[in-house]
Amino acid sequence: MSERIPCVGDLLRQRGVSRRDFLQYTSVMASLLALPPSAAPALAEGLAKARRQAVIWLSFQECTGCIESLTRSFSPSLEDLIFDFISLDYQHALQAASGEAAEAARRQSMKDNAGKYIVVVDGSVPTADGGVYSCIAGQSNIDMLAETVADAAAVVAVGTCAAFGGLPQAHPNPTGAVSISTLVKNKPVVNIPGCPPMPQAMAGTLVHLLSFGKLPELDPLNRPRAFFGETIHDRCYRRPFYEKGMFAKSFDDEGARQGWCLYELGCKGPVTYNACASQKWNGGVSFPIQSGHGCIGCSEAGFWDRGGLYQPLSAGTTDMGKVIGIAAVAGVALGAGSAAIARKRQADYAATDKKEA
Amino acid sequence: MDLLDFARGPALQVALAVFVLGTLWRLAGVLLLPRLRDLSPAREGAPAPLAGALRTIVRRMWPRPEFAQATMFMTINSWIFHVGLAVVVFGLAPHILFIRNLLGLHWPALPSNLVYGVGVVTLASLVAVLVRRLRHPVMRLLSHAGDYISWLMTALPVATGLLATAHIGARYETLLALHILSIAALLVWFPFGKLMHALLFAFSRGATGIRFSHRGVEV
Amino acid sequence: MNAPASTTLPKPNFDRQGEQGYQERVDAAMRSFVREFGVTAALHMESCVRCGLCAEACHFYIATRDPKYTPVHKLELFRRAYFREASPFAPVVRALGLVKKPTIDELQRWQELIYDSCTMCGRCTLVCPMGIDIAELVKEARHGMYKAGLIPERLALMDRTARQWGSPATPAEDLPDILQEVSAEHGVPIPCDLAQADILVTAAPAELGDHTKALADAAKILNRIGVKWTMHQEGFDASNIGFNNGDMELQERLTRALVDTAVKIGAKTILLPECGHAYGAARWEAAKWYGAALPVRIIHMTEFLDELLASGRIRVNKIADSATFHDPCQIVRRGGLEAAARRVLAALGFELIELQDAGVSGFCCGGGGGVVSNIRATPLRAKVFEMKKAQVEATGAKRFVTSCGQCRITLEQGAKNTHWTKKTESLLELVADNLAQ
């Protein structure tokens, strides 16, 4: 019996989503993905014909913020559709099953969709002491990751923890936390960093995969250029204040209330690649800078160890005081020493001259 | 640790340490050499030695009228890049924050666009003095490798700063890292070349000021 | 190298004295150079930024446009000695071979730069943005050149003479005869070798040779004011060729000759002739050699005339002519007597028309620091003289006055060689000739 497997278009029709709504969604998605307008119909057609994609979502050393962000997306009804576009066969926060049944479901999906399923990972993987610091069902994260990606089509590392190591990797990194791409070398890995990532970044990448069957254009750090191609600084509405040199000096001072640039309060916008300043959060309502707090650079590697969230970008990150103190004392001592050597030479020469006179 | 973290972290730390150590070594090594006291009587009405020193330190900022014509290019051009460097270093907000982080001092910043313009003029002025050094027979005879290194160490921060602000040549965080690394290089080189004149000028002018004011001559 | 004189080989621009081997000469020079580096010299060596402005002030560079005459370049070997042996990083410099030790060839070639093309006039010192006293450092470098036996032969000859006679001009024992002759010729008593006097009066080669009238002029004024004064065989030549050549021993001896003689005869004042380097040696450096503040007052003839005129002890008849003044480097730029000289000129009633470069920034006559005695430097000096002559002519002034005997001789030589009819006059002579009753 060959039951026709429903495609996304079938499912949408079943749920009463009009073609008009669907086309609107896909044209919004196309623009978010920075695709040309002509790609919108292709996106729509591809998506309508797409089969429900098997997705296995692994959660390692994470805080669950990434899935929370994804579910708090700006048009819940459309995001719900995403969960109809994909067959989310394993996800700790959302799955109904638990315990051995959940693990069995994972392995079954891997078998049924071998070579075709997508693995989404959030959280970093601990590697110290054989990886004992995070185990699920008696299996270390390292082993579960290796086992799960073996037959995967692609790996999507969401969140800064999975993409770059994130909070667990912050100094002194007691668990030996590493990013997914450190461990997965033979499968395509997309990084969607952020702490948490923007919902449209996660959704848009998945939609692109679904409809075009391939990854969107990536930057050298494997981040989708559509969402991570520009810095916050280059799209920040407060940029004119930066150029004019008008800075808030403390939270809630006059400059802060006037909405001036937050560089002096530690904003890392200039070196942070993300879409917060252009696409904003919560349905385009706001983003941290607009709310009066500098960007903490949460989508960049090592942002926890960059010398303090409130230290401006131009400040050094290490404590200079002691080192400079020692250097100063050493310098004066060496100077006194060399002056003594010079004087001794002069005295010796005087003696030589006297002898020869 | 990426390049920017390296630049803002260990690179700056080491560079500042070398800067402080080398500068104090050189200053102490010179100032602790034997001192000759002038036992001749001063000209009647001569100012106190310190006053004589200070007067010369200030006067030498500008040439005497008799020399103005012959020294016009170097005088004007040097003023331009010295003032330009000061405006850029002490007037740009990120730089003031760097100093605040180190020393706790801070002051109001100039508009960043204005500083950028001054930076362009400063770089042009630096290029002009390099051309002069390469072409003028006197300067060619006098100059050695250290002079060219000093020029490079001064010009690179200006150039990389301009490039970083304009986002030309590489990703911003790379340009910023290169800018900070160029500052680190400048700091490491400073005690060992002629850039030390930034500190020595006062002592050297002052010494001559003392000698001549003792004799009743205003130099 | 002692190559035989040949029409094909160029004549080397250096002389050698003594029998030292090459390495000994280099070592002697280096030892002397290194010993010069106290704080001030070291600061100056550290501070040069190679801006090239010193060249623009130096009359030798201006007259020839040859970059080798750049003042700070004259100090190159001195600089190397500093960085190799006395600078704060010297041990590292030596270990890494960052600065080369001067070679005998370089020292010999540098003789010309240090002696032929530098009058130690100090104009370079005025223009240097770092305030480096280049002239003073050249003088210190000369100490090393002397120790290495590498000074111009003419200057070496004068040095040997001065060591023997106490003066390069005349033996001490001839002084009484010379003074006798001058006294007779001009009808003016000139005391010599008095056992007690208040002022010890001294002279310089100019007064003892070409311009002996100056001795009579001084005598006339001193007698007029009625002080007890004398000249003395044991300390009569203030010009101090040791100061010029870099012969420190001779400098000390000649300095002490003056001071000790003054003390011996109970004089409280030593009156210097119109001479530039005499002033530098006695007024500013003597205390260093003496080891303590001098027990006597050193006064230059120009100062002396200024004080006498200002206090009314002498009066002069006014000369209603226009005049221009050549400022001797060692008494004006490096001595502080710019105003004093002008007060004397004003007292004489001259309408003073200043040279384009006058006062502290006036151009050197081109003969100071031994250059006028250094025959090898004559062509160079002639070029410099052209500049001075042009400036004098440009003023259109009738009279041309100066107050240094060596400047006067240098300018007169230049005038003779270029058939310039302008007479170089002496301030002292003008005052003496125009003393009012």
Q: What percent of chain C has pLDDT over 90?
A: 94
Contact between A345 and C86 using a beta-carbon 8 Å cutoff: yes
Write down the pLDDT at residue C437: 76
Contact between C133 and B207 using a beta-carbon 8 Å cutoff: yes
* A314 assigned to some structural domain: no
Same domain? C399 vs C412? yes
What span, in angstroms and rounded, lies between the C-alpha atoms of C318 and C436? Answer: 9
- Band (A283; pLDDT cuts 50, 70, 90): confident
According to DSSP, the residues that pair with C351 across neighbouring strands are C322
* B198 assigned to some structural domain: yes
Which backbone phi and psi does A107 adopt, to 5 degrees?
-65, -35
What span, in angstroms and rounded, lies between the C-alpha atoms of B210 and A224? Answer: 68
Q: Does B136 touch chain C (CB under 8 A)?
A: yes
Residues of A in contact with B176 (CB under 8 A): 270-271, 313
Alpha-carbon distance C133 to nearest alpha carbon in chain B (angstroms): 6
Does the structure show a pLDDT above 90 at A308?
no
Does the structure show a pLDDT above 80 at A14?
no
Which backbone phi and psi does A185 adopt, to 5 degrees?
-110, -20
Single-letter amino acid code for the residue at B132: R
Alpha-carbon distance B66 to nearest alpha carbon in chain C (angstroms): 7
SS3 content of chain A, % helix, strand, coil (to 5): 50, 15, 40
Does the structure show a pLDDT above 50 at A77?
no
Q: Spell out the residues 6+ positions from residue B88 whose beta carbon is closer than 8 angstroms to its own.
A: B95, B115, B118, B119, B122, B158, B161
Same domain? C223 vs C206? yes
Query: With 0-12 CB in 10 A as exposed, 13-18 as middle and 19+ as buried, what is C57?
Result: buried
CB-nearest to B60 from C55, C131, C333 is C131
Number of domain units in chain C: 3
| B155 three-state secondary structure | helix
Q: Which two structure tokens, joined as six digits, stand for A251?
A: 């939270």
Conformation bin of residue C361: beta by default, left when phi > 0, alpha when psi is -120 to 50: alpha
Q: Does B196 touch chain C (CB under 8 A)?
A: yes
Residues of A in contact with B92 (CB under 8 A): 245
Q: pLDDT tens across A42-72, in order?
A: 888 887 777 778 889 999 999 999 988 888 7
* C78 assigned to some structural domain: yes
Contact between A334 and C35 using a beta-carbon 8 Å cutoff: no
Rounded to whole angstroms, the maximal C-alpha distance in chain B is 67
For C249, the closest chain A residue by CA position comes to A357
For B35, the closest chain A residue by CA position comes to A343
Contact between B139 and C52 using a beta-carbon 8 Å cutoff: yes
Query: With 0-12 CB in 10 A as exposed, 13-18 as middle and 19+ as buried, what is C289?
Result: buried
Handedness of CA C232, C237, C238, C241 (dihedral sign): negative
Name the residue range of residue B94's domain. Answer: 3-31+44-215
Alpha-carbon distance B106 to nearest alpha carbon in chain A (angstroms): 11
Name the residue range of residue C183's domain. Answer: 174-307
Number of Cβ pairs < 8 A linking chain A and chain C? 36
Does the structure show a pLDDT above 50 at A76?
no
Number of domain units in chain B: 1
Contact between C88 and A334 using a beta-carbon 8 Å cutoff: yes
CATH code, B61: 1.20.950
Same domain? A208 vs A263? no
Alpha-carbon distance B169 to nearest alpha carbon in chain A (angstroms): 15
Same domain? A161 vs A293? no
What span, in angstroms and rounded, lies between the C-alpha atoms of A170 and A164? Answer: 11
ipTM: 0.95
Please state whether beta strands C297-300 and A135-136 pair in parallel, antiparallel, or not at all (unpaired). unpaired
- Band (A212; pLDDT cuts 50, 70, 90): confident
Single-letter amino acid code for the residue at B180: I
Same domain? A39 vs A112? yes
Please state whether beta strands A53-59 and C424-426 pair in parallel, antiparallel, or not at all (unpaired). unpaired
SS3 content of chain B, % helix, strand, coil (to 5): 80, 0, 20
Alpha-carbon distance C100 to nearest alpha carbon in chain A (angstroms): 18
Chain B residues 4-43 within an 8 A CB cutoff of chain C: 25-26, 28-31, 33-36, 38-41, 43
According to DSSP, the residues that pair with A57 across neighbouring strands are A120
Q: C307, C325, C357: which is the final residue of a domain?
A: C307
Alpha-carbon distance C261 to nearest alpha carbon in chain A (angstroms): 26
Contact between A349 and C147 using a beta-carbon 8 Å cutoff: no
Using alpha carbons, select from C239, C264, C275 the residue that is nearest to residue C167: C239
Contact between A316 and B5 using a beta-carbon 8 Å cutoff: no
Same domain? C222 vs C140? no
Chains that touch B (3 or more CB pairs under 8 A): A, C
CATH code, C345: 3.40.50
Which helix H or strand E contains B114, and what residues bound it?
helix B112-135
Same domain? A70 vs A194? yes
For C129, the closest chain B residue by CA position comes to B60
Q: pLDDT tens across B121-150, in order?
A: 999 999 999 999 999 999 999 999 999 999
Contact between A338 and C37 using a beta-carbon 8 Å cutoff: no
For C126, the closest chain B residue by CA position comes to B219
What span, in angstroms and rounded, lies between the C-alpha atoms of A119 and A90? Answer: 10
According to DSSP, the residues that pair with C326 across neighbouring strands are C402
Contact between B172 and A242 using a beta-carbon 8 Å cutoff: no
Cα-Cα-Cα-Cα dihedral of B114, B115, B116, B118, to 10°? 90
Same domain? C146 vs C29? yes
Same domain? C188 vs C302? yes
For A318, other C-beta atoms within 10 Å of its C-beta total 16
Q: C286, C307, C328: which is the final residue of a domain?
A: C307
| C297 three-state secondary structure | strand
Q: Spell out the residues 6+ positions from residue C87 whose beta carbon is closer than 8 angstroms to its own.
A: A338, A342, B29, B30, C42, C45, C46, C93
Alpha-carbon distance B164 to nearest alpha carbon in chain C (angstroms): 30
For B8, the closest chain A residue by CA position comes to A316
Using alpha carbons, select from C349, C351, C381 the residue that is nearest to residue C367: C381
CB-nearest to B94 from A231, A314, A328 is A314
Q: Which two structure tokens, joined as six digits, stand for C248?
A: 């420190």
Do residues A266 and A310 lie in contact, with contact meaning Cβ atoms separated by under 8 Å? yes
Q: pLDDT tens across A156-182, in order?
A: 999 999 999 999 999 999 999 999 999
By a Cβ cutoff of 8 Å, what residues of chain A touch chain B?
A: 231, 233-234, 242-245, 247, 263-264, 270-271, 301-302, 305-307, 311-318, 320, 323-324, 326-328, 330-332, 334-336, 338-340, 342-343, 346
Q: pLDDT tens across A229-282, in order?
A: 999 999 999 999 988 889 999 998 999 999 999 999 999 999 999 999 999 998
Contact between C130 and B197 using a beta-carbon 8 Å cutoff: yes
* C202 assigned to some structural domain: yes
What span, in angstroms and rounded, lies between the C-alpha atoms of C232 and A44? Answer: 119
Chains that touch C (3 or more CB pairs under 8 A): A, B
Same domain? C188 vs C280? yes
Contact between B24 and A302 using a beta-carbon 8 Å cutoff: no
Q: pLDDT tens across C239-266, in order?
A: 999 999 999 999 999 999 999 999 999 9
Residues of B in contact with A297 (CB under 8 A): none
pLDDT along chain C (437 residues), means of 10: 51 85 95 96 97 96 96 96 96 94 94 95 97 97 96 95 92 95 96 97 92 95 96 95 95 95 97 95 93 95 97 95 97 97 97 96 94 91 95 97 95 94 96 93
Name the residue range of residue A348's domain. Answer: 321-357
Q: Spell out the residues 6+ positions from residue B38 whose beta carbon is closer than 8 angstroms to its own.
A: B211, B214, C284, C287, C288
* A281 assigned to some structural domain: yes
* A129 assigned to some structural domain: yes
CATH code, A258: 4.10.480.10
Residue found by looking up tokens 């008849």 in the block: C317
Mean pLDDT, chain A, rounded, equals 89
- For B52-64, b/e burial (b = at least 16 CB within 10 A) is bbbbbbeebeebb
What angle is formed at CA C309 by the lines to CA C304 and CA C315, rounded to 5 degrees? 130
What span, in angstroms and rounded, lies between the C-alpha atoms of B61 and C130? Answer: 9
